[in-house]
Amino acid sequence: MIWVVDDQEIEIRFSANDEVEVRQWNEQKKTIQVPVNMPKAEAVWTIRTFLQTRIPDPIFLVEERLEVFDRYWPIKPLLKKRVSFITKGAIHCYISGRYISTIRKIKIKEELLEQAVLQQIGQWEEKLNLLIPSVIFRKSKNKPYTVHRMQERICFDKGLSNLSLEAIGYCVFKAVASYSAIEEERGRRLIEKHFPTWKTLEKIITYGYKINPL
Q: Give the mean pLDDT of 56-77.
A: 76
Q: Give the mean pLDDT of 170-197.
A: 93
Residue 97 scores a pLDDT above 60: yes
Q: Band the pLDDT of 102: cuts 50, 70, 90.
A: confident
Give pairs for 39-48: CB < 8 Å, separation 24+. 43/12, 44/3, 44/5, 46/20, 47/3, 47/5, 47/10, 48/5, 48/6
Q: Give the mean pLDDT of 8-31.
A: 80
Residue 58 scores a pLDDT above 80: no
Residues above pLDDT 90, as percent of the chain? 45
Q: Band the pLDDT of 152: cuts 50, 70, 90.
A: very high
Residue 168 scores a pLDDT above 70: yes
Q: What pLDDT, in 10s, does the model give residues 33-42?
A: 888 888 889 9
59, 63, 69, 71 alpha-carbon torsion, rounded to 10° = 130
The pTM (predicted TM-score) of the whole model is 0.69
Residue 137 scores a pLDDT above 70: yes
Domains of the chain plus CATH, in order, are 2-53 (no CATH), 65-104 (no CATH), 107-209 (3.30.2010.10)
CA distance 32 to 9: 11
What pLDDT does 60 receive?
Answer: 47
Q: Give the mean pLDDT of 162-166.
A: 92
